[in-house]
Structure 1
Amino acid sequence: MLLDLYVSEFRQRPVATTSACIAADVPASTALRWLDLLEQRSLIERYDSDQDRRVKFIRLTGDGRQALEAILSSY
């Protein structure tokens, strides 16, 4: 999930919560639980769509980006 958000940020494409759940290829309840955990750890944040109040987007926080880049740099 974090890598998908990282790539989407690089491409300047917003990621809807639903899209992130589908990309994770796990049941929606599991993906939402992961997103809740990542948000609690301040690695992601959720924000509202300007165009559709039903849509919530997610993005990496600065801490989330740094954590992922640290992991990627070890490879």
Structure 2
Amino acid sequence: MEIQVSSVCIEAGVPSTTILRWIARLEKEGLLYRKADRGDARRRFVRLTDEGHAVMRRVLRAIGPIS
């Protein structure tokens, strides 16, 4: 699933500069990638890579059920 970068900022409740810094780091580590919107050059999407999904599964298993 791809998510707009602006939506990530809104949902996280943090400044866009913070989100963009984290996106760049996660992209550098191969956990997600950015993709431009073909219909609107101003808009970008992010998506977890296979490795990003694997890391998320490990984290969620480590956290365990949320009550």
The TM-score range, normalised by the shorter chain, is 0.7 to 0.9
Distance 1:19 1:34 in 2: 14
Encode CA deviations 1:16-51: one digit per residue, 9 max, x unaligned.
111111111111111111111111111110011122
Tell me which stretches of 4 or more aligned residues in structure 1 moved more than 3 Å: none
Which residue of structure 2 lines up, in the alignment, with residue 35 of structure 1? Answer: 23
TM-score (norm 1): 0.75
- For 1:61, the aligned partner's letter is T
Count of residues in Structure 1 that have an aligned counterpart in Structure 2: 63
Which residue of structure 1 lines up, in the alignment, with residue 56 of structure 2? Answer: 68
Matched, 1:57 2:65: no
TM-score (norm 2): 0.83
Structure 2: runs of 5 or more not aligned: none
- For 1:23, the aligned partner's letter is E
Distance 2:23 2:12 in 1: 11
Coordinate RMSD, CA, aligned:
1.1
Distance 1:26 1:54 in 2: 20
From the CA coordinates, give the structure whose radius of gyration is larger: 2
